Structure 1
Amino acid sequence: MTIDDLNDPVDRALLPILRHAVYAFTCPERCAWRSAYMIAAERWGEPRGLALAHATIDLVSAVLSKDITLEIQDPLDVQQRSEVTEQEHQILLMVRFMRQQDKANARNVMMQLCDGHIYAAVVRAALALASRLDHTGPNHTGPNYTGPDQIRSVRNANAPRLSAVS
């Protein structure tokens, strides 16, 4: 599956944050948590984005605490970025079904992800993340929103630039 197959703009926006969140645990020397927070803040604005990144990291922590091995593409590898692993897709689907209040499908996807189990910690973390997401995607500005191609930085272009002076 490729990233182009993800039709939901929220899934597409959440994928790099998810990848960096997993790498925050599996390769802590890369400090990937910083990238997860930065990307989320750029896509959703600081207050909401930071909360979404935190909720994503909590979900990854809950999944990994159950000794589930996640196959995740390296978010910094340009060649791997366009591919979506089965487990990445399962996490995104689980959260999407929870956003849509589709309990049966969310439960089925979670059981696939968690080797046939339903873990309360994973359910809580996924519901917490789903509750912070809406159905319109990042930086939704109105009925003309067409998807992730319209994701824009929320940084103020007129903000003063800081520089080091020695």
Structure 2
Amino acid sequence: MTIKMMVCVACNEEFSGSSNAMYCSNKCKQASYRAAKALGGFIYILKNKGRVVYVGQSITKAALDDRLVSHSCGRESKVFDSHEYYRVDGCNLNEVEAAEIIKYTPKYNKRLPSNNTYITVKQFSSTLSELIEGFIINQCETHTLIGELGVKKAYLEASKSDEFRNTIEKILSKTLVNKTDGVNK
């Protein structure tokens, strides 16, 4: 392997690397990947007997082809008999993928990509923890609150905005117990 001076495609800094290196660091590679995802790519849908079983995303057509192969054999093997894909331009792939997962609730999708529209029960619980630091809320109360906020099929359809946080805080104000004194707040 030949080591020579290269220019990072993300930050334009010089670095020494192999002849096929494109990035000076993983940080630059990840930043470039996030920027590319924000510009668009492909959403693909795996189906079995006409039912959507998985929704995924890929930045390039070549990577999409690789993903389809990995889904058909190996560790990530999924049972499907057909697939569809479409190009998404000018918007965040995570947002589109999350909306498709919510729409179809495919059996192989176990989590949502990070997005600004939907959160999972697990993410909701984490948000609660941030909002109510210093308070105890049990699992039963969490599920009651989730129900009050309109969760359907384990996804909370609400914006992660200040309005959303304020709504959670209003609902929680009746059910929180202060960790230090055990008194309902």
- With CA pairs under 8 Å and 6+ residues apart, which has the higher RCO, 1 or 2? 1
Tell me if both proteins adopt one fold, taking TM over 0.5 as the criterion.
no
Instruction: Point out the structure with max Rg over C-alpha.
Output: 2
Which structure: greater helix fraction?
A: 1
Using structure 2 for the length normalisation, give the TM-score: 0.21
